[in-house]
Amino acid sequence: MPGIDEVALLAGVSTATVSRALSGKGQVSVATRERVLHAAKSLGYVVSSNASGLATGRTRNVGVVIPFLRRWFYSSVIEGAESSLLANGYDLTLYNLSGGGEERRSVFEHFLLRKRVDAVIAISLELTASETGRLLDLGKPIVGVGGPIPGVRTLSIDDVLVARLATEHLLSLGHTVIAHIGGDAESERDFHLPTNRRVGFEAALADAGLPSEPDLFEAADFTMEGGYRAAKQLLGRPHRRPTAIFAASDEMAIGAILAARDLGLHVPAEVSVIGVDDHELAEFFGLTTIAQYPALQGQMAVEILMDELHPGGEDRHALNTPLPFDLVVRQTTTRPPPR
């Protein structure tokens, strides 16, 4: 593995010039640059990120912290962030917190602090003041995706509006007995996302002059199985069976579709179902849903970070950037059956 001095030797210049030529900073004559580039290539030279990082204080690496990796949503965000970082010449170091409390502590107390990363993207995480504090003290920008972290630039979707849109879609089709499968206490811990979706749901009902009936709510854990169980409860009752279900995630919505099927109920003729996500399976199940775009979210987070790391563009991003979402109507929603 050749070092910068071998390149300098071969190109007949000083190491400083090599550094300048390769980094693009500082003035280098075209001819010299050519020679340096050529020498570097012919030697297969690649800078040592350690040495460069030590000298500059920046590593061209960003840390991405997530609560889970195995959910479609998170891996999609990461995929978006990864390709965007790569395009910017940055590496992505992954910190998965699913191990639990001890793991979380060690990530924040040690790993993130050892100057390995220039910045941090925190996905669907509520950081404590001390966690953000230490990072910010180090001068490392943080961008949060999916939840309000005080004092930090964040990207988030307006869950109240998302739920309202889904509910209004059902209302506009004529449904009046609409059930909601939302999050349980466990999933609530992180982000109040379930609560916000429930609030939007109830607000839309209220606007339509409908009461919110506790019986029409079931809590689940955002998985297909959870949605299945919850929907069985909802659809199995002998009286006031809902004609539509709004599930707070596509996986739960798909579970609900399967539950309806198992009960012999036809979707959408007898039960309409709408979810949230536009999960990769949504198309396959013909699921009507509110699309959010996780890969785009990852990409947007990176763009904001790049702006912070390379200040130049003067257009400061707002402290909280709203994330886009859209109603995607497929085949699981229709008018309620005549009664």
Interface positions with DNA (CB under 7 A) = 3-5, 12-20, 22-23, 25-29, 31-33, 45, 47-48, 51-52, 54-57
Residues 290 and 288: their CA atoms lie apart, in Å, by 7
b (16+ CB within 10 A) / e for 179-191: bbbbbeeebeeeb
Which residues, numbered 91-120, are part of the site for its own copies (CB under 8 A)? 91-96, 98-99, 103, 106-107, 109-111, 113-116
Nearest-approach distance from CB 61 to DNA, in angstroms? 14
Q: For residues 284 and 315, which CB has a smaller minimum distance to its own copies in the complex?
A: 284
29 binds, among DNA, its own copies, none (CB under 5 to 8 A by kind): DNA
Nearest-approach distance from CB 302 to its own copies, in angstroms? 14
Q: Does residue 185 belong to the site contacting its own copies (CB under 8 A)?
A: no
Measure Cα distances from 297 to 16, 210, 325 in Å: 39, 34, 11
Q: For residues 25 and 239, which CB has a smaller minimum distance to DNA in the complex?
A: 25
317 binds, among DNA, its own copies, none (CB under 5 to 8 A by kind): none
Identify whether the C-beta of residue 271 lies closer than 8 Å to the C-beta of residue 245: yes
Query: In sequence order, which residues have a C-beta less than 8 Å from that of residue 110 and are 6 or more positions away?
Result: none
And the tokens for 135?
Answer: 């990072």
31 binds, among its own copies, DNA, none (CB under 5 to 8 A by kind): DNA
91 binds, among DNA, its own copies, none (CB under 5 to 8 A by kind): its own copies
Nearest-approach distance from CB 30 to its own copies, in angstroms? 23
Q: Does residue 308 belong to the site contacting its own copies (CB under 8 A)?
A: no
Q: For residues 173 and 295, which CB has a smaller minimum distance to its own copies in the complex?
A: 295
Q: Does residue 206 belong to the site contacting its own copies (CB under 8 A)?
A: no
And the tokens for 205?
Answer: 């009902």
Nearest-approach distance from CB 18 to its own copies, in angstroms? 15
Kind plus residue range of the DSSP H or E element containing 118: none
Q: For residues 24 and 209, which CB has a smaller minimum distance to DNA in the complex?
A: 24
And the tokens for 40?
Answer: 């570097």
Nearest 5°: phi and psi at 259? -65, -45
Q: For residues 40 and 216, which CB has a smaller minimum distance to its own copies in the complex?
A: 40
Residues 242 and 237: their CA atoms lie apart, in Å, by 9
28 binds, among its own copies, DNA, none (CB under 5 to 8 A by kind): DNA
For residue 150, whether the previous peptide bond is cis, meaning omega lies within 30 degrees of 0, is no
23 binds, among its own copies, DNA, none (CB under 5 to 8 A by kind): DNA
- Bridge partner residues of 289 (DSSP): 275, 328
Q: Is 195 left (phi over 0), alpha (psi -120 to 50) or beta?
A: alpha
